[in-house]
Amino acid sequence: MPFEMVPAIFLAALMRGNLPFAIAGIWVSNPLTWIPLYTPCYLLGAAIIGVQPVELHQITIFQLGWHYVALWLGCLIVGIVLSVSVHFLISFVWRSQVRQRWRLRQQGRLKRAESSEVDTHSSL
């Protein structure tokens, strides 16, 4: 799709997503990265629907239909698995950082409370 950034920016804004990540995601897929990105998806989809994978130079116009189905199915499965995994990973990291900051704030409050107690007792 030409001008992929326009719908990506629109959808990220509409869904309150992260604009830099939406744009970066568009630029990850380019002609240099197609083979490492799509080959595992294609092989997974072909294995699931039971189609014998075809080498690139052997694909004919008649075979493209089943091979697109294999590619789409593999991309759908890989996309769902990766997005759910990354969601839980980011949630875990986020919660860990929040807990760590909370502990640091509590420690800071305890230190300030102890130092104010010492100041109060020493002035008596």
Q: How many angstroms separate the CA atoms of 1 and 13, rounded?
A: 19
pLDDT band at 124 (very low <50, low <70, confident <90, very high): low
| 8 A C-beta contact, residue 71 and residue 45 | yes
User: In terms of pLDDT, which residue wins out, 59 or 25?
Assistant: 25
State mean pLDDT over 73-86: 95
| 8 A C-beta contact, residue 61 and residue 76 | no
* pLDDT, the chain, mean: 85
State mean pLDDT over 92-103: 95
Q: How many angstroms separate the CA atoms of 101 and 99, rounded?
A: 5
Whole-number pLDDT of residue 99: 95
State mean pLDDT over 4-28: 88
52: left (phi over 0), alpha (psi -120 to 50) or beta: beta
The overall pTM is greater than 0.85: no
